Amino acid sequence: MASLKAALVCSTRLLKTPRQKSHVVYVTRTLVLPGPPLFRRPEGRFLTFGRLSSSTAARGEKGEESLFKWILLLIPVTAFGLGTWQMRRRQWKMQLINDLRRLVTAEPIPLPLDPNELKGLEYRRVKVRGQFDHARELYVLPRSPVDPEKEAREAGTLSSSGETGANVITPFHCTDLGITILVNRGYVPKQKVRPETRMKGQVEGEVEVVGVVRLTENRKPFVPNNDVARNRWHYRDLEAMGAAAGAEPIFIDADFGSTTPGGPIGGQTRVTLRNEHMQYMVTWFGLCAATSYMWYAKFIKKIV
């Protein structure tokens, strides 16, 4: 049987599309397979191989660029959404601060005995009548003094004196209720922490105290654990404090009006709520403006 002879015919065509300024060469390779007349069609048998023209590749690149453009647009859109969310969070936080400010300046009510009712009265002013037990004081430290007048005007603002000391927590037997509670009498500098250094302020007899209800607080990161044995407390743990002082886990911050000469300075309630939402708003809206301009200059301005 005679061997088949194959002839490879290569042709080139010079194309110029209406939308392109450059010429495109399209190459085809045609393989002609001759054979006996019985197996070969008169016009021959052709196998053609080719590659895509550059116009098809250009369309693909254009589609990828369009997709990339819309993906980048998500950056300013997301930044705008986060800025709007922070604006609403700031409005909510300002309302919450105003509500707390009203609570700490409202007329005091008698201290309720129901624990469930007390849980809903944090920062509410209450009044109690009884007698202090100075022999069982507790000390929360280190603490810096609060400016009561500034606290009434600006929530969360602390004194900038740089002075440190302690808050004196004293058991207080309520004669009208028949229970002993914990009263934060206020701030003393570190040289006045020991009670013998401030004997003038160790008030005796029955007195009326007006204060703000406070609840147990969770230990924050990097805050040391309370040292019960050394009577060094770093955060309010009402159960542990009550057990150490022989009192119920009920805690109030005495107001500034309850201060006695030579004693701790009352009014140490800090209405401290972080309110940094304005900074976040500026950050997100600024990022939105910057990336919006960059997107416009990249994809819109160059077309115009």
Write the pLDDT tens digit of every residue in 47-85: 444 444 555 555 666 666 677 778 888 888 999 999 899
Does residue 292 sit within a domain? no
In sequence order, what are the beta bridge partners of 181? 172
Distance, first Cα to last Cα, the chain: 71
pLDDT (0 to 100) of residue 180: 96
> Which residue has better confidence, 32 or 101?
101
Residues 6+ apart with CB under 8 A from 201: 260, 261, 262, 263, 264
> Which residue has better confidence, 209 or 1?
209
Does residue 278 sit within a domain? no
Does residue 34 sit within a domain? yes
pLDDT (0 to 100) of residue 113: 83
Residue 242 lies in domain: 111-272
Does residue 15 sit within a domain? yes
pLDDT (0 to 100) of residue 60: 61
pLDDT (0 to 100) of residue 302: 64
**Angle made by CA atoms 184, 190, 191, in degrees to the nearest 5:** 120
| Mean pLDDT, the chain, integer | 78
Does residue 42 sit within a domain? yes
User: Is the pLDDT reported for residue 24 higher than 70?
Assistant: no
Does residue 81 sit within a domain? no
pLDDT (0 to 100) of residue 56: 59
Say if residue 162 is in the same domain as residue 266.
Answer: yes
Does residue 209 sit within a domain? yes
- Measured between alpha carbons, how far is 152 from 271 in angstroms, rounded to an integer? 9
pLDDT (0 to 100) of residue 246: 95
Say if residue 239 is in the same domain as residue 119.
Answer: yes
- pLDDT for 142-182, tens place per residue? 998 886 455 444 443 444 456 789 999 999 999 989 999 99
Say if residue 116 is in the same domain as residue 41.
Answer: no
Domain total in the chain: 2
Q: Compute CA distances 132 → 77, 117, 196, 214, 266, whole Å.
A: 60, 24, 16, 18, 15
Say if residue 34 is in the same domain as residue 138.
Answer: no
260 φ/ψ angles, rounded to the nearest 5 degrees? -110, 145
The stretch 176-194 carries a mean pLDDT of 94
At 186, is the pLDDT very low, low, confident or very high (cuts 50, 70, 90)?
very high
Say if residue 117 is in the same domain as residue 264.
Answer: yes
Helices (H) and strands (E) in the chain, counts: 6, 10
Q: Please answer whether residues 125 and 204 qualify as being in contact, where contact means their C-beta atoms are separated by less than 8 angstroms.
A: no
At 280, is the pLDDT very low, low, confident or very high (cuts 50, 70, 90)?
confident
Give the global pTM. Answer: 0.62
The domain boundary residue, chosen from 30, 51, 72: 51
Say if residue 126 is in the same domain as residue 253.
Answer: yes
Say if residue 238 is in the same domain as residue 162.
Answer: yes
Say if residue 127 is in the same domain as residue 47.
Answer: no
pLDDT (0 to 100) of residue 301: 74
At 184, is the pLDDT very low, low, confident or very high (cuts 50, 70, 90)?
very high
Does residue 167 sit within a domain? yes
Average the pLDDT over each of 16-20, 67-71, 241-245, 277-281 and give the range with the smallest value.
16-20
User: Is the pLDDT reported for residue 99 higher than 60?
Assistant: yes
